Amino acid sequence: MVLNPVISKLSGKLVVLASSSPRRLEILRNAGLRFEVVPSWFKETLDKRLFKAPHEYAVETAKQKALEVARRMPVKHLKTPDIVIGADTIVTVDGMILEKPVDKQDAYRMLSSLSGKEHSVFTGVAIVLCHEKDDDEVDYQLIDFYEETKVKFADLSQDMLWEYINSGEPMDKAGGYGIQALGGMLVEYVHGDFLNVVGFPLNHFCKQLDMMYNHCSFINPEKTESVYDSHSTPILIEQKDTSTSIPRPSSPSASPLHKVRQHRESEANINSLSKQDAGEIKLHNSETAILRSREGAVIDHSEPQKGDLELIYELMDGFKASKALFTASKFCLFDVLHKKPGLDAEQIAQEIKASVKGTETLLEACVSLGLLKTRDTTGRPKPGFENADVASCFLRSDSRFSLNAYILHCNDTLWPVFSHLESAVREGTSQRGKVKASTEICQEAKLRFMHAMHSSAKVAAAAVATAFDLSSYKTACDVGGCTGAFAYELTKTHPNLSVAVLDLPAVVEMSGPFQRQHADKRVTFKAGDFLKDELPKADLYILVRILHDLSDEKLHILLRRISDACTPGCGLLLSEIFLDENRSGPSRGLLQALSMSEGKQRSAAEYSRLLKGHGFITAQVKHTNNLLDAMLCTKA
């Protein structure tokens, strides 16, 4: 293919790449494309379980990245791009989607799962065409497609895997490897587009541009023709002119090409998105759909939309899935199958001392949830069961990232509290007082709570500890650090850092078992009340999941005391669930707020303003795609 006639079609247009990937930049620049880079703010937190095929997840992520930039630029950058390009690359093997590893252990898990196997690399690409109107409105059209490449890894030894991981190359690459660099030594063969594995399917992209500009007229916003091939699915969506919000598709599978209208009146319009605003999609044929606003439009409600119906049923059945997970954990089911994989239902029933019928029903439910897998047991009348990878990683009580203790805490403590949610909403107060003796404060209950917090903290600790360069700090104080899970991870990541963990005397007294697990002399424990007692002197103060739980009065007392203890240049590392600016997500933080504690869940901007009031200037914010986000501030 001669590329110049295709790329030249974009000459003189403001082309924007919604990605900071150096590999995508290099591929497109080498093709002669001139463009600006505006990284997307879209959080890659889509639920993979909602997608029937891996490529649908990659395409939807690419689409959301591109649309976020296209919507933001007229407001934030005061200019409208002509074209925005979004892309997302994933690796899939054995039905699992592998993205970027969170740490070295995660990289090892990914690479060892690829060893000796053929896997698929999918890149979803979204092209947003922006048409500026005379009335300060913008029409958007979106074309998306995907490319699949098959890659086969050689059989890799443990030493070779760790040598590659320790090179540092895997940490920012989907699937944990870069085929264009050292990772190429791991690859036995490639079937398909090599550049697709690097991060962008240039050939397919140029073909798409050729179809858009040379073979059809659908890029005219007044027309509804669309192009289609086996890997691209453009659909046109039309919204009534009077609407002031930008609709989102009602499900991950809906509308990969749409034309929507945006008013520039305020940034709030960008965030005021809902399925109700979006109306309903009517398919005219396999390639084209029209979305009409509720204002003045006749909408046929004769059939419920499948995506909406699935969402409602998923929410209604959510408590059943939670209780299935809790019950399986209570019976130590995942530990049993780790020690004895392949047992059938009757054998497992004997192990956990439960009925065969009940055990079989629970096992099948866990398979449907993706927690267990069935194993063919030749010669036996019934199949055997084994842990899925997610269970091996998070649900075994002895795994490094085990959430077992936190899951039991959810079952024994949070479940009873949330059973009183109607009263909590009516009264606006916590319902913990209504929960009976099983959750009363006693020594054993406190220890269970500490194990739960330690369990949860370990999963998030590495992502927070590696979020920023902390090499300029030598001493730190982890305020309310409980078992020291974050402190130990910080000293492991930053060898020159020593951390003092400050918590109540009773907590420090019971933290002995956790201290003995690590035996790191750089972590010390100090008993005290951070609202009353003197804070240890430090270069860096750490607040992990503390502020969200404090009343405004206590919060300001704590921040004032930390500010008084700091000298100019001291740091403050804050880690919380950062809500979106319009408080529309993430749902985990908003659902947690239903416990009606005296505190408040906040966005990153709200925390930044809060800290600024106590003399701390926000230096960096990191959305980790883990349980917690992070913010690094400096005392002015």
Question: Which CATH number do you get for residue 364?
Answer: 1.10.10.10
pTM beyond cutoff 0.85 = no
Last residue of a domain, one of 264, 292, 320: 292
To the query of whether residue 88 is one of the catalytic residues in this protein, the response is: yes
The tokens describing 263, both together, are: 């008013």
* Cα torsion 530, 534, 537, 539: sign: positive
54 & 140 share domain: yes
Q: Does residue 166 fall inside a structural domain?
A: no
Catalytic residue among 88, 412, 478, 539: 88
240 & 285 share domain: yes
Provide the domain count of the chain: 3
What pairing do the DSSP bridges indicate for beta strands 280-283 and 289-292? antiparallel
Q: Tell me if 590 sits within 8 A of 579, measured CB to CB.
A: yes
580 & 612 share domain: yes
The end-to-end CA distance of the chain, in Å, is 57
Three-class secondary structure of residue 265 per DSSP: coil
Name which of 614, 612, 630 is nearest 622 in CA terms: 630
Last residue of a domain, one of 292, 320, 347: 292
The tokens describing 148, both together, are: 């699949």
Q: Looking at residue 256, what is its pLDDT?
A: 31
Q: Looking at residue 62, what is its pLDDT?
A: 94
385 & 518 share domain: no
Q: How many CA atoms lie within 13 A of 267 on its CB side?
A: 10
Q: Looking at residue 135, what is its pLDDT?
A: 66
Q: Does residue 179 fall inside a structural domain?
A: no
* Cα torsion 500, 501, 503, 505: sign: negative
The span from the CA of 130 to the CA of 74, in Å, is 10
564 & 474 share domain: yes
Q: Looking at residue 260, what is its pLDDT?
A: 34
Q: In 3-state terms, the chain is what percent helix, strand and coil (to 5)? A: 40, 20, 40
Q: What is the CATH number of the domain that holds 23?
A: 3.90.950.10
Q: Looking at residue 23, what is its pLDDT?
A: 86
- Its domain, for residue 534, covers 463-635
Angular region, 153: left φ>0, alpha ψ -120 to 50, beta rest: beta
SS3 sequence of 120-131:
EEEEEEEEEEEE
282 & 387 share domain: no
Q: Looking at residue 528, what is its pLDDT?
A: 95
319 & 218 share domain: no
Q: Looking at residue 372, what is its pLDDT?
A: 94
Last residue of a domain, one of 292, 322, 344: 292
Burial 269-292 (b: 16+ CB within 10 A, else e): bbeebebebbbbbeeeeeebbbbb
Mean pLDDT of residues grouped by 10 in the chain (636 residues)?
A: 63 88 88 89 84 91 93 82 93 87 89 91 93 77 93 90 89 86 88 92 89 62 36 38 31 33 32 32 31 38 65 88 95 95 93 94 94 75 88 92 91 89 89 61 72 87 91 96 93 93 92 80 94 95 95 95 95 94 85 89 93 94 88 95
